[in-house]
Amino acid sequence: MLLLATSMVLLIASIILLGKTIVYYRGVKRLLETGLKPIGKARKRYVVFTALCEERVSQRDVENAISETMKKHYGVSIYRKASPQVILYDESTGRGVVRVLHAYTSYLIATLGLTKRAGGKNCLIAPIKTTGTLRKAREILSKSKI
């Protein structure tokens, strides 16, 4: 009889705790959902960079290197929110432009500095300048002497 009463008390306590846990997680879920809703149009930034590599590397190799480094250091969720894309890349000079959402520009610049290999070759990627328009980024690419 005592065993039955004890098990009933434990069952009731676990049901109450389960209910409180569900309420807590619903609140957390609501907070996260409201924080992720976009407000207005997403603003983009264009980061002009130069890739100093042992040999020529392709645009795909540079983009893969940047994405892998960003995922490694900041995680997949930051990578997906930032959505970096190599828009322009000149294989002969090693210069290019990466598009990223404005809130994650600092993550991208740090990622460029942390990238050490691209396409299986030793490679340093150095950011040159950040701009708000692709036209200005193209001007910087054409004027850049690095």
Residue 136 binned pLDDT confidence (cut-offs 50, 70, 90): very high
Is there a single domain that holds both residue 74 and residue 32?
no
pLDDT at 22 over 80: no
Say how many Å lie between the first and final Cα of the chain, rounded. 85
Report for 26-30, 106-110, 142-146: range of highest mean pLDDT: 106-110
The CB density around residue 36, as the number of other CB atoms within 10 Å, is 8
Is there a single domain that holds both residue 117 and residue 76?
yes
User: Which residues on neighbouring strands pair with residue 128, listed in sequence order?
Assistant: none
What is the pLDDT, as a whole number, of residue 37? 54
Give the domain range for residue 14: 1-37
pLDDT at 133 over 90: yes
In the three-class reduction of DSSP (H, G, I as helix; E, B as strand; rest coil), residue 56 is classed as: coil
What is the pLDDT, as a whole number, of residue 123? 92
Is there a single domain that holds both residue 18 and residue 72?
no
Is there a single domain that holds both residue 110 and residue 52?
yes
Tokens of 111: 């990622």
